[in-house]
Amino acid sequence: MNFDFDSMDRIEKDFSSLFVTLSMTQRKIRELLAEYSDGKVLKGDELVGWLGEILTKIALGGFLVDDSFEHDVETTSGMKISVKTRRGSNSGWVRSSAIPKIEGKDIPTHLMFVHLNEDYVVSGMWLYPWQDLIKQNRFREHIVRGKFRSYYMSVNPSRDVSYKVYSNSF
């Protein structure tokens, strides 16, 4: 097997300054978002998720909770909101990320689905009462290699108009 490390090195060098700029920009965004995180540690490299949680917190006048909870945001009125955020316009943007459990103790009261455009600007937000999603059988099992992994739900923009709480026309 032959490896072309010279070409790989050339590509890395071609993109090097752009990746340095990107890394510095992401670091700065993370530092600025941390000011709104209510002390919650912004782990990993999850800019889309952090932005969705912080924008939900601000929009609803709530506060972020740590990762030991099944939800991300709480409000003074008692809402416990799980936030799922997607970015882009490819067909998969309507499907949430993993939802570990849908019933039982400490489940959220609501699910906020935040859709960002390619430039990280909110194009829409949907707020679903958790029990509506259960009654409408909107949670689906995510099966991987024949085994249950988690749940997910999908937004239907034309059908879910009554749940849409924010829309931005570009």
Task: Report the run of H or E that residue 134 belongs to, with start and end.
Answer: helix 130-135
Q: What's the pTM?
A: 0.86
- 86 lies in some domain: yes
State both tokens at 8. Answer: 């790989």
Placement of tokens 């829409």 in the chain: 124
Same domain (yes/no): 58, 101: yes
Placement of tokens 């509506």 in the chain: 132
Cα 139 to Cα 100: distance, rounded to the nearest angstrom: 11
- 148 lies in some domain: yes
Same domain (yes/no): 55, 17: no
Q: With bands split at pLDDT 50, 70 and 90, how would you rate the model's confidence at 6?
A: confident
Residue 103 has pLDDT above 70, yes or no: yes
Q: Are 67 and 56 in contact (CB under 8 A)?
A: no
- 40 lies in some domain: no
- 85 lies in some domain: yes
pLDDT in tens, 147-162: 999 999 999 999 999 9
Tell me which residue range forms the domain holding 31: 1-35
What total of structural domains would you count in the chain?
2
pLDDT in tens, 115-129: 999 889 999 999 999
Cα 99 to Cα 81: distance, rounded to the nearest angstrom: 12
Higher per-residue confidence, 10 vs 8: 10
